[in-house]
Chains A and B, each alone.
Chain A
Amino acid sequence: MGRIIGSKTPIDDALAKATGEAIYTGDMKLANMCYGKLILSTIAFGKVKSIDYSEALKIDGVIDVLTYKDFPSDKYNSALRFKDHGIIKSETVVSETVRFVGDRIGVVLAETLEIAEKALKTISVEYEEYTPILDEEEAAVSATNIHEGISNKVATIATGADADKVAELIKSADLIFEDKIKIPMVNQLSIETFSVIGDYRAKKLTIYATTQNTFAIRVLASDVYKMPLNKVVVIQPTLGGAFGGKLEAVTELVAAGASIKVKRPVKIVLSRKESMIASRTRNGATIEVKSGVNKDGTILATDFRILTNTGAYVGSAVNVIGAMSHKLLKAYKYPLRYTGSPVMTNTPIAGAMRGYGSPQAFIGMNLHINRIANELGMDPIEMTMKHLVDKNEVDLLTFGNPELKACVVRGQEMFAWDSKKKEIEEFNNKNKDFTRGIGFGIGAHGAGVYPAHQDCINLLLRLNEDGSFNYWSASHDMGNGSLTAQKMIISEIITTEVADIESTEVNTETCPWNLGDYASRGVFVEGEGALKLALAMKEAILDVAVLKHKVNKEALTLKDKHVYLGNKLLCNFSEIAMYAQKELQKEISVLIDHHSIAGRTSYGAHFAEVEIDKSSGSVKVLDYVAVHDSGTVINRMGIEGQLEGGIQMGLGYALSEKMTFDEKGYLLENNLKKYHLFNSTEMPKIRTDFIETGDNGGPFGAKSISECAVVPVAPTIINAVANAIGKHTTSIPISKEEVLNIINK
């Protein structure tokens, strides 16, 4: 649409990454740095009776072993977003009571990583063991509280249609459908694990971390270690993927406290297994959904109930349930009541993961409606469409302008749903060894966090003497390209190229304040801020041009990094900067603040064809179409990449990824052999498209993509599998063994 907006632009640090020159936290080494290895609980529930680390201390190169006696006992909530965020505090830096396999007990410090690893193996911990509670349904009614004084069922949030009205409508319907769906935890699994360096010196604490939430980590460190905020610096070097997993404090406070103790920089890098058990997961869930439906396929009302397994600490428990509470209402327009409760169990802590509750909610609804459609002999798309929100029909202040139906229509066309139906029927009639099926699913997710709480960013842009720009944005790019999108937006306005704008790493000491990067804020909120910033820079440049050339501002424009008076070239940006410095004795820099005044919703509709080998039960995805309403596309390369990556994640959710535990609470899928990510041979061909009507509140009409991308995937695949085998299934993920079981039933 613009010169740069809508173009295909590579991520701004691609060259550094492709050459191996980008520096991630785990690549850093500071002078006099030592290495820490976490002592993690090997039982799921109990109390540490004693820790014997005498052998460790004898090893040459071991500096110290720190346990709960060496760290503050102040409780905090690692999901904190800002100072005085009123969320329940249940966590400590390290703990004497352990509540899951992987809970932090202490840290061993050594001169090298190798010595730290060796020393860790010699440490023995004696526990008083309690019986762990691993399932959310069990924990919700258990007499044992995992945390003293906090109910396992942390809260209950209900939204949507009135309970009595929903019950009455369901009762009055021709038919009643009920489904119960169990969803296991899954892992964000960024390829980079968790790393941190804590560096305390001269009464100042610097934390380099794999985080998407620097300013909140700063508050946590300041609160726990009783230091003024200006003496705590949190820096995010290049981040190797996060997907929500790096939103909460995981190892940051351990490295910080250890550094304060030994007065040396302390580096902690989690192994893959440690990252899987001792960081964050996506909530598991138990969904019970009940609808009253008339024979013509009209759903009169739905009662949707969900218990999430939020793991061993409160963390994001209530936030996820709260975020989830209104997502279904933004997609479906008939009476729907949502009741959700997060439940603590003795499993790894659940936190943020791409979609933040939406994937679970939309798995529930898409599977449920697909089953109803099948039993009524209706097309699932036709049935779903009757109940989706219309354009301009919802509250424009918070919901935005939904183009969900347009996504369905476009996708149905691209996928050739109707003709594919016939082709599949023919294929299945002829083929004895394989069976094919098609599936469909929809999803929604927000853009920005308002009105849940404040949603703002401050941004700074400087024009240099040579006409180049420096940009300070505490936008935590995780590889998703939010900074690139912001630079594109700025470039569009001030007529530069993305490469003309250099940004710093996120640093709480040098960057203006920002929230963490979650809730798909990167384009909708931060990008709108970047637009305001660029407009302010344009004004500042023109103001200097007016003084320099004694002309009227109204007639001035910017083009190709020059100031023009009508068609007449006046000067370049370097001359503006030099004039300002020499004649006006000032630098041209602008600082703006931006706060979001509206939450917006992004939508997607997905379509898949699968083929099942009847002898093995294995599922192959043959074709995939995804159409999204993300508003205006800022970076076509970026948005496609986000969507394609979201589909990879969702396919795993449907077919191969799960975190399950034995009766003692040990994670069974604790490495990448057992926890299977879709690889390049398993990925189907993907076709994507975007409905670009646009919306207000974001830059150039843009909303968001990254989280919404994953939401419709898993139910689309499960529905396609159900279609292929001709039987309803609610297994997530569905393994080939389960497929075989269902076929042979």
Chain B
Amino acid sequence: MTDCKLTINGKDYTLKVEEKWTLLYVLREVLGLTGTKEGCGTSDCGACKVLVDGKAVNSCSLLALKMEGKKITTIEGIGSSDKPHPIQEAFIEAGAVQCGFCTPGMIISTKALLDGNIDPSEEEIREGLSKNLCRCTGYVKIIDAVNIAAAKIKELK
């Protein structure tokens, strides 16, 4: 075990971790932050996406030890049921949530996309979500949700 300092959702953690532990393993098994899901473990489905320094990345393929000094945001850091983020509200309103297992990852990718481009074209939205697989929605209402979220965020600015 090695000491590891992580900054997650604005909170500093000092943990003992094994070299091989992925960020996903630490989030779910060590810290109990189970909002981040594992859908494949091979970096192919995007269910485990978190923001690392603002970029949406697959936490199943990142070693926890390499995350020192970086700013990590999980779905729990985006918003909560008491205070949902406009993107989360948009996903609900648009009907973009069905089984919900891809949803945290989708919302993380949406956050990264809209932080960089508050006015994305449909093509840019599709591209921005292309590394997140969904089996329930056919992506139609998820794309609607990103548009609604962009409008909500613009309104707040």
Which of A11-19, A140-148, A305-313, A727-735 contacts the other chain?
A11-19
Docked-complex contact B80 and A21, CB < 8 angstroms: yes
Docked-complex contact B92 and A18, CB < 8 angstroms: yes
A166 to B118, CA, bound (A): 63
Scan residues 684-720 of chain A and give those whose CB is less than 8 A from a CB of chain B.
686
Scan residues 37-61 of chain B and give those whose CB is less than 8 A from a CB of chain A.
37-42, 44-45, 47
B36 surroundings in chain A (CB, below 8 A): 20
Question: Which residue of chain B has the shortest Cβ distance to A193 in the bound complex?
Answer: B39
Say whether A429 faces chain B, with CB atoms less than 8 Å apart: no
Interface size class of B (residues with CB under 8 A): 35 or more
Say whether B84 faces chain A, with CB atoms less than 8 Å apart: yes
Contact residues of A: prevailing secondary structure: loop
Task: Give the most central of B29, B101, B132: most A CB within 10 Å.
Answer: B101
Question: Which residue of chain B has the shortest Cβ distance to A13 in the bound complex?
Answer: B100
Say whether A555 faces chain B, with CB atoms less than 8 Å apart: no
Question: Which residue of chain B has the shortest Cβ distance to A243 in the bound complex?
Answer: B135
B103 surroundings in chain A (CB, below 8 A): 17-18
A683 to B135, CA, bound (A): 12
Say whether B99 faces chain A, with CB atoms less than 8 Å apart: yes
Interface string of B124-141 (1 = CB under 8 A from A): 011101111111111111
B134 surroundings in chain A (CB, below 8 A): 191, 645, 648, 680
CB distance from B59 to the nearest CB of A (A): 13
Which of A388-396, A407-415, A476-484, A608-616 contacts the other chain?
A476-484
Known contacts A240-B37, A644-B140, A683-B139; decide if A19 and B133 are in contact (CB<8 Å). Answer: no
Say whether A114 faces chain B, with CB atoms less than 8 Å apart: yes
CB distance from B121 to the nearest CB of A (A): 13
CB distance from B88 to the nearest CB of A (A): 4
A112 to B34, CA, bound (A): 16
Docked-complex contact A112 and B74, CB < 8 angstroms: no
B65 surroundings in chain A (CB, below 8 A): none
Question: Which residue of chain B has the shortest Cβ distance to A29 in the bound complex?
Answer: B32
Known contacts A191-B45, A272-B39, A681-B127; decide if A18 and B88 are in contact (CB<8 Å). Answer: yes
Docked-complex contact A686 and B38, CB < 8 angstroms: no
Known contacts A243-B135, A648-B135, A672-B42; decide if A481 and B98 are in contact (CB<8 Å). Answer: yes
Docked-complex contact B39 and A114, CB < 8 angstroms: no
Task: Indicate which residue in B18, B44, B102, B127 contacts A671 across the interface (CB closer than 8 Å).
Answer: B44
A125 to B18, CA, bound (A): 29
A637 to B47, CA, bound (A): 23
CB distance from A28 to the nearest CB of B (A): 8
Docked-complex contact B38 and A238, CB < 8 angstroms: no
A76 to B41, CA, bound (A): 32
Docked-complex contact B88 and A11, CB < 8 angstroms: no
Say whether A239 faces chain B, with CB atoms less than 8 Å apart: yes
Say whether A189 faces chain B, with CB atoms less than 8 Å apart: yes
Docked-complex contact B95 and A18, CB < 8 angstroms: no
B18 surroundings in chain A (CB, below 8 A): 114
Say whether A419 faces chain B, with CB atoms less than 8 Å apart: no
Interface string of A613-646 (1 = CB under 8 A from B): 0000000000000000000000001101100111
Docked-complex contact B99 and A479, CB < 8 angstroms: yes
Question: Which residue of chain A has the shortest Cβ distance to B95 in the bound complex?
Answer: A637
A677 to B136, CA, bound (A): 12
Say whether B150 faces chain A, with CB atoms less than 8 Å apart: no
Known contacts A24-B101, A190-B101; decide if A680 and B139 are in contact (CB<8 Å). Answer: yes
Say whether B93 faces chain A, with CB atoms less than 8 Å apart: yes
CB distance from B83 to the nearest CB of A (A): 9
Docked-complex contact A640 and B141, CB < 8 angstroms: yes
Say whether A271 faces chain B, with CB atoms less than 8 Å apart: yes
Docked-complex contact B42 and A11, CB < 8 angstroms: no
Known contacts A17-B103, A191-B102, A192-B101; decide if A645 and B137 are in contact (CB<8 Å). Answer: yes
Known contacts A20-B75, A192-B99, A480-B98; decide if A641 and B136 are in contact (CB<8 Å). Answer: yes
Interface string of A437-479 (1 = CB under 8 A from B): 0000000000000000000000000000000000000000011
A679 surroundings in chain B (CB, below 8 A): 129-133, 139
Say whether B79 faces chain A, with CB atoms less than 8 Å apart: yes
Scan residues 49-83 of chain A and give those whose CB is less than 8 A from a CB of chain B.
none
Known contacts A14-B100, A15-B84, A114-B25; decide if A677 and B95 are in contact (CB<8 Å). Answer: no
CB distance from A502 to the nearest CB of B (A): 14
Task: Give the most central of B44, B138, B143: most A CB within 10 Å.
Answer: B138
CB distance from B9 to the nearest CB of A (A): 11
Task: Give the most central of A29, A192, A680: most B CB within 10 Å.
Answer: A680
Scan residues 222-258 of chain A and give those whose CB is less than 8 A from a CB of chain B.
238-243
A374 to B100, CA, bound (A): 43
Docked-complex contact B47 and A191, CB < 8 angstroms: yes
Say whether B14 faces chain A, with CB atoms less than 8 Å apart: no
Docked-complex contact A19 and B35, CB < 8 angstroms: yes
Question: Which residue of chain A has the shortest Cβ distance to B40 in the bound complex?
Answer: A272
A644 to B144, CA, bound (A): 13
A103 to B112, CA, bound (A): 42
Known contacts A14-B91, A644-B138, A681-B126; decide if A191 and B133 are in contact (CB<8 Å). Answer: yes
A10 surroundings in chain B (CB, below 8 A): 92-93, 95, 97
Docked-complex contact B92 and A20, CB < 8 angstroms: no
A204 to B93, CA, bound (A): 42
Say whether B23 faces chain A, with CB atoms less than 8 Å apart: no
Docked-complex contact A112 and B130, CB < 8 angstroms: no
Docked-complex contact B40 and A671, CB < 8 angstroms: yes
Docked-complex contact B135 and A189, CB < 8 angstroms: yes
Known contacts A191-B39, A191-B45, A683-B140; decide if A113 and B95 are in contact (CB<8 Å). Answer: no
Interface string of A1-37 (1 = CB under 8 A from B): 0000000101101111111111110110100000000
A114 surroundings in chain B (CB, below 8 A): 18, 20-21, 25, 29
Question: Which residue of chain A has the shortest Cβ distance to B98 in the bound complex?
Answer: A479
Say whether B81 faces chain A, with CB atoms less than 8 Å apart: yes
CB distance from B74 to the nearest CB of A (A): 7
A480 to B100, CA, bound (A): 10
A240 surroundings in chain B (CB, below 8 A): 37, 99-101
A113 to B136, CA, bound (A): 29
Q: List 18 A-B contacts (CB under 8 A).
A: A14-B91, A19-B78, A20-B34, A24-B34, A114-B25, A190-B101, A191-B102, A241-B101, A272-B39, A479-B98, A637-B141, A640-B140, A641-B98, A641-B136, A647-B138, A679-B130, A680-B129, A683-B138
The 7 A-B pairs with the shortest beta carbon distances in the complex, nearest first, are: A20-B35, A479-B99, A17-B100, A240-B101, A644-B138, A672-B44, A20-B75
Other A-B contacts than A191-B134, A238-B100, A479-B99, 6 sampled, CB-CB below 8 A, are A19-B81, A19-B88, A26-B34, A191-B102, A243-B135, A640-B141
